[in-house]
A = this chain, B = another copy of it.
Amino acid sequence: MDAIKQFFERDHFAQRAGIRLLEVAPGRATAQMLVGPEHWNGIEGAHGGALFTLADFAFAAAANSHGTVAVAINASIAFVKSVQNGLVRADAREVARSFKVGTYQVELRDETGDLVAVFQGMVYRKRDALPGLPPAAS
């Protein structure tokens, strides 16, 4: 899993947004983002794009956790609570996976444990190993 963590450290956009991958295991991943003014939209709450990026990052880590490249084909997000400051944590889990397609759900929660957003995403799974990893079986 360390190689997968290293792979996600090369994710420039997530790095710039201050997103950190905490944990990755087969079919699961956890990430966090410390929300502050740099994530705000015009009404001083975390931008939907920032929250989506956090969810998408955890989703990608979970989907690539089997060692082969998985490419996001679509995603939907429901925003249920606004956040202004503080840690937001994203927990992604694999809901279903076939040879070619995988489905994932992500929950975003704030420091008090309240749900901030729910995310659902789907990937197309390639046979290629992740860059920097040996070819995988699954």
Contact = CB atoms under 8 A, between A and B. Distances in A.
Interface of A: 7-8, 10-14, 16-17, 37-43, 46-50, 52-54, 56-57, 60, 69, 71-82, 95-96, 98, 100-101, 103, 105, 115, 118, 120, 122, 124, 130-131
A78 B120 CA distance: 9
B47 A14 contact: yes
Contact of A41 (B11, B76, B118): B11
Interface of A, secondary structure class, is mixed
How many copies of this chain? 4
Given A81-B96, A122-B78, A73 B101 contact: yes
A102 to B, nearest CB: 9
Nearest to A80: B96
A42 B11 contact: yes
